[in-house]
A and B are shown apart, each in its own frame.
Chain A
Amino acid sequence: MKLLNFANMRRSKDSSDRVGQFMLVSYIILFLLFLVLPLGSLISKSLQNKNGDFVGLANYNLYLQEPALFQSLYNSLFVAVSSTVIVVILAFLFSYALTRTCMPFKGFFRLIALIPLLSPSILAAIALVYWFGNQGILKEVLLGKSIYGPIGIIMASVYWTFPHALIILTTSLSLSDSRLYEAAEVLKTSKLRAFFTITIPGARYGIISTAFVIFTQVFTDFGVPKVIGGNYNVLATDIYKEVVGMQNFQMGAVISMVLLVPAMIAFFIDRYSRKKQISLLTSRSVVFKPKKHFKVDMIMLCFCSVLALIIILMIGMAQYGAIVKFWPYNLNFTLKNYNFEVAGLGWDSFYNSVRLAFYAAIFGTIIIFIGSYLIEKLRINEGTRNLVQFFALMPMAVPGLVLGLAYIFFFNAKDNPLNFIYATMIILVVNTIVHFYTVSHLTAITALKQMDKEFESVSLSLKIPIYKMFWRVTLPVCLPPIFDISIYLFVNAMTTVSGVIFLYSYDTTLASVSAIHLDEQGEVAKAAAMAMLIVYVSVAVRLTHTIITKKVLRKTQAWRYNIIDSN
């Protein structure tokens, strides 16, 4: 018995296993440094007074006794819930039209609907100012109500969150078994009853998931209420005011916690409902193919046309506003609004944004893909694996504003050896990668799960080191999702506001942040111009991505396009 134990103790592992274990441990350290510890310092800040002494929940008490601050919580909840209800209904109908009807021009509508993804959220707010603002053309439509306030916030929020909802709902609606509908028809079920007994229950988890995602996005968004909120305070703008305006970091931390908790709850409900969704479709299901139904198809065509028109009018107005001389008095075209020197800014912030986006896309993709590979494919300690998996999911639950504030508290501390990254491009890149880690990570995991789990075993039996097989098989096969991840990181780095609003410095101003400041200074046309610059880059990158996908991938993915019956 003793001998056996001894044998177990000196059991050697593959060198690749050891390297994998070592790398995962370094991931844990990175997550601790750039996610867990900053959040920890945020929490401890909320429990301290101005001198840094521990005061327990005193700050929270103060918060509860301040009716103005409390009002903001109510306001945040109000705009978030209203926007969520509207978006879920609109996006559900839109994705129903895309997946379940024979409406014409589906490709076109899908493309238009995704446009808001390419712009920062403030672009919608700026466009609304042009449409319904004090000098807006359609001001009268609001019947004397101001666009600056909940109406504007809700409208802009609906615009920019719409594609996010559409993506989730389209996925969940396209996962349906046509056999269920055939069974219903054979049993003489009416179309309406089939809709309520098959379609809605089938998409149930998708709807729940969408609702919580949209709720969190609106609840934690900073850009829109900043630009179009007027005197209508929400939590996100309160944090900004406390921190930047009044230098009251403790109260900023307290409000961050108030923002964090609902976001966390929403995150866990969303995760739970996504897990349920997967099990709905089995490999034996037959994918649903819609049948022509003239009346429904035409109604849906009208509906989608109206939404598409609104989207085009929104981005169109932002573009129009950016190139007219002096709205609404002189409508001649000009490019002078793209000259930001006048506002003391120059184009530096734009270049900084592009640099940030490139760095985040390149380093983020490498780090995230390797991380997910380690978790998914290597034989490693179960505890380590679960811990890294948990860390990888955590950023989704942390609003950008909260993460940004946490970074200030952590990295600006004098005794932190990492203090040197404060106010540099590095901290912006790190923050962006961490902020958008989860979605990229899940994309990578999904792609890796589709690969045969025995590839690694085969390689070991053929004495091929894991890294070689990673390079020769895993990477080429996963190239499409890898491109998707890098594009996702790039566009989000270009458009994000909330994550970086506290972290930029004089040398690292960013386009999206500049747009907010320009708007603050009353330079709305310049703000629109800056926001549109972001759109141009996003569009250019998307187009390049499409071309690369078509050309390069055709070479490396030849095996995908060659599925012919050899017999």
Chain B
Amino acid sequence: MGSISNSYLETKNLSKSFGSFQAIKDISISIKEGEFVCFLGPSGCGKTTLLRCIAGLEIQSAGMVFQKDLDISNLPPSNRDFGIVFQSYALFPNLNVFSNISYGLINNKWKKDDVKRRVDELLELVNLTDHAKKYPSQLSGGEQQRVALSRALATSPGLLLLDEPLSALDAKVRVFLRKQIRDLQRKLGVTTIMVTHDQEEAQTMADRIFVMKDGEIIQSGTPNEIYTKANSPFIASFIGSMNFFPAVISNSNQVRCNNVEIYCDTADFKKDDSVQIAIRPEDIQLKKENSDDNILPAKIRDIEFLGSFQRVYFESNNITKDLIIVDVPSVNARKIKLMPNQEMDLYFSREDIRVYPG
């Protein structure tokens, strides 16, 4: 609903320009208390600028920011309530882990014992208890990022901002930290905004994703909604893989691609509209499952082995010059024994096809 009383953080018509370049345009969003949201988009889409405006690190050109119904648009960052973690960790190199984490506590006039207790608690939370005396340069990237996270959480801020926190890390560490951050966030219930360009990261961590492009939010929703009901070809191809075929509406619930008729839901379109139909690689089957499935004869051109599934490239000149990507679970692929140049029929259900304006 986005009514003020229901939201923890809200932006209203937020814009920011750098010279003549508009980094974000007229953004209005609302985030509930305890929610984990992601700003997802390619580099240069304005997601970091949006985060920095919320933090007060950039001053918006127009618009307002509310936190707990309070207008914080004009407050400097030091008067706002948030903790922040950067891609570069930004740990103070001359202070050890303990001093880094307690950095914000000492200023708030905490007693010495309380500071120690709080830091110990945080170190345990991120499994770094033995590292308190070490300097940042003695820690691995993943460990440094956990220290940065503890430092941001030390003063128990109401809002946690994560600016590409995992982008500088190795693939394995990244997957491990994804889960640790997510678990920590659930445990503490802190409202969290993460900026990322990695769609997998956003999908696995967020309660809600805001997909951004050219300074605007082009879709928001749960990871599942974004994946299955992408509202534009851009999002459909940015999040996961997608096959696209140009087509023309030939009848109600029927389109023509080249000279193949395909059945799908065309409710939003008129006859003779030119459209793009899209289908995910995993939604194309090698066996008939429903009686009303679309059928497409095709020939295997290439097979890539990707662990749990195999990506098979099919050629079907009747429908498109591009290759059609089909993901086959490895279990099935082993049974069928796929070989290049093999000819077979592809099946896909009409419910799995999405239709976009051409």
Given A7-B64, A457-B90, A557-B94, are A462 and B135 also a contact pair (CB < 8 Å)? no
A463:B108 contact, CB within 8 angstroms: yes
Complex Cα distance, B79 from A13, in Å, reads 10
Cβ-Cβ contact count across A and B, 8 Å cutoff: 109
A521-567 contacts to B (CB < 8 Å): 556-560, 562-567
Task: Establish whether residues B74 and A457, one from each chain, have CB atoms under 8 Å apart when the complex forms.
Answer: no
Q: Is B84 an interface residue (CB 8 A)?
A: yes
Say yes or no: A566 contacts B88, CB within 8 Å. Answer: no
| Interface status of A188 (Cβ within 8 A of chain B) | no
Contacts A477-B93, A557-B94, A562-B138 given; does A460 touch B76 at CB 8 Å: yes
Would you call B76 and A17 a contact (CB within 8 A)? yes
The answer on a CB contact under 8 Å between A11 and B138 is: no
For window 366-415 of A, CB contacts with B under 8 Å fall at none
Whether A559 contacts B59 in the complex (CB less than 8 A), given A464-B107, A473-B95, comes out as: no
**Interchain CB contact under 8 A, B86 and A454:** yes
**Residue A68 interfacial (CB < 8 Å):** no
The digit string for A455-488, where 1 denotes a CB below 8 A from any CB of B, is 1011011111100100011001100000000000
Shortest distance between the CB of A455 and any CB in chain B (Å): 6
Knowing A4-B62, A461-B82, A463-B78 touch, does A452 contact B88 (C-beta < 8 A)? yes
| A14 and B135 within 8 A (CB) | no
Contact among A458, A562, A567 with B90 in the assembled complex (CB-CB below 8 Å): A458
- In residues 169-216 of chain B, which contact A (Cβ within 8 Å)? none
Whether A462 touches B73, Cβ cut-off 8 Å, given contacts A455-B92, A457-B84, is: no
B42 at the interface (CB under 8 A from A): no
Q: Are A14 and B138 within 8 A (Cβ)?
A: no
Give, as a whole number of angstroms, the nearest-CB distance from A564 to chain B.
6
Bound state CA distance, A332 and B94, in angstroms? 56
Chain B residues, Cβ within 8 Å of A13: 76
Is B281 close to A, CB under 8 A?
no
Interface string of A421-440 (1 = CB under 8 A from B): 00000000000000000000
- Which residues of the partner chain A approach B56 to less than 8 Å between Cβ atoms? 460
Q: Are B75 and A462 in contact (CB under 8 A)?
A: no
* Interface size band for A: 35 or more
**Are B57 and A463 in contact, CB atoms less than 8 angstroms apart?**
no
The answer to whether B77 and A563 touch across the interface, beta carbons within 8 angstroms, is no
CA distance A448 to B315 in the complex (A): 57
B104 contacts partner chain A, Cβ-Cβ < 8 Å: yes
Instruction: Check if A461 sits within 8 Å of B74, measured CB to CB.
Output: no
B94-A477 in contact (CB<8A): yes
- What B residues does A416 contact at CB under 8 A? none
Q: Does the CB pair A473–B92 fall under 8 Å?
A: yes
Q: Using a CB-CB cutoff of 8 Å, which residues 133-189 of chain A contact chain B?
A: none
What class of interface size applies to chain B in its complex with A? 35 or more
> Is residue B151 within 8 Å, beta carbon to beta carbon, of the partner chain?
yes
A190 CB–B CB distance under 8 Å = no
Is A7 in contact with B74, judged by CB distance below 8 angstroms? Answer: yes
**Nearest CB on A from B98, distance (A):** 13
Contacts of A556 in B (CB 8 A): 94
Contacts of B108 in A (CB 8 A): 463
Interface SS of B by simple majority:
loop
Question: In the complex, what residues of B have CB within 8 A of residue A455's CB?
Answer: 90, 92
What is the distance, in angstroms, from B24's C-beta to the closest C-beta of chain A?
15
Q: Is the CB of B90 within 8 A of A462?
A: no
Q: Any chain B CB within 8 A of the CB of A12?
A: yes
Tell me the residues in window 118-135 of chain B with beta carbons closer than 8 Å to chain A beta carbons: 131, 134-135
Residue B103 lies at the interface, judged by CB distance under 8 Å to chain A = yes
Closest-CB distance, B176 to chain A (whole angstroms): 14
0 or 1 for each of A1-36: is its CB under 8 Å from B? (1 = yes): 000100110111111110000000000000000000
Chain A residues, Cβ within 8 Å of B75: 12
Looking at B75, B86, B108, the one whose CB has the most chain A CB atoms below 10 A away is: B86
Please tell me if the beta carbons of A567 and B140 are within 8 angstroms of each other in the complex.
yes
Q: Does B284 contact A (CB under 8 A)?
A: no
Chain B residues within an 8 Å CB radius of A458: 84, 86, 90, 151
CB–CB B143/A4 < 8 A: no
B76 touches A461 (CB 8 A): no
> Which residues on B sit within 8 Å (CB–CB) of A558?
135
Is B249 engaged at the interface, CB distance under 8 Å to the other chain? no
Residue numbers in A under 8 Å from B242 (CB-CB): none
Quick one: closest A residue to B85, CB to CB? A458
Minimum Cβ distance to chain A for residue B328 (Å): 38
Q: Flag whether B137 is at the interface (Cβ < 8 A).
A: yes
Q: Is the CB of A12 within 8 A of B137?
A: no
Q: Are A461 and B62 in contact (CB under 8 A)?
A: no
Complex CA gap A460/B82 in Å reads: 10
Task: Please report the C-alpha to C-alpha distance between residue A433 and residue B126 in the assembled complex, in whole angstroms.
Answer: 50
B243 touches A (CB below 8 Å)? no
Proximity string of chain B (234-266) to chain A, C-beta cutoff 8 Å, 1 when within and 0 when not: 000000000000000000000000000000000
CA–CA, A8 to B63, complex, Å? 9
B139 adjacent to chain A (CB < 8 Å)? yes
**Residue contact A563 to B92, C-beta cutoff 8 Å:** no
Complex interface: chain B residues within 8 A of A10 (CB): 74
- B131 with A566: CB separation less than 8 A: yes
The answer to whether the Cβ of B83 comes within 8 Å of any Cβ in the partner chain is yes
Please report A residues at the B interface, Cβ cutoff 8 Å: 4, 7-8, 10-17, 452, 454-455, 457-458, 460-465, 468, 472-473, 476-477, 556-560, 562-567
15 further A-B contacts with Cβ under 8 Å, apart from A461-B83, A462-B83, are A4-B13, A4-B63, A11-B74, A12-B74, A452-B90, A457-B84, A460-B56, A461-B78, A462-B104, A462-B154, A472-B92, A476-B94, A477-B94, A562-B135, A564-B138
Question: Would you list the 3 A-B pairs with minimal beta carbon distance, nearest first?
Answer: A462-B104, A14-B76, A454-B90
20 contacts between A and B (CB under 8 A): A4-B13, A4-B63, A7-B64, A14-B78, A454-B88, A458-B84, A458-B90, A460-B57, A460-B76, A460-B77, A461-B77, A461-B83, A461-B157, A461-B161, A462-B154, A463-B107, A463-B108, A465-B78, A565-B138, A566-B139
